[in-house]
């Protein structure tokens, strides 16, 4: 499984929850949060 870097912009982005779930599953290696 390839390594995925998830980048989210702002807390209003619904993909932030999905990104955190991906990290817990070990799919994504890092989350960069911007726009706060």
| Cα–Cα distance, 12 to 36 (Å, whole number) | 10
Measured CA to CA in angstroms, residue 19 lies from 7, 36 at distances of 8, 16
Flag whether pLDDT at 8 surpasses 60. no
HEC secondary structure over the chain: CCCEEEEEECCCCCHHHHHHHHHHHCCEEEEEEECC
* Amino acid 1: pLDDT: 44
* pLDDT, tens only, 12-36: 555 555 666 666 665 555 655 554 3
pTM over 0.75: no
pLDDT value for 33: 54
């Amino acid at each position: 499984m390839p390594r995925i870097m998830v980048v989210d912009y702002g807390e209003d982005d619904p993909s932030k929850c999905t990104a955190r779930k991906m990290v817990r599953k070990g799919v994504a290696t890092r989350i960069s949060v911007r726009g706060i």
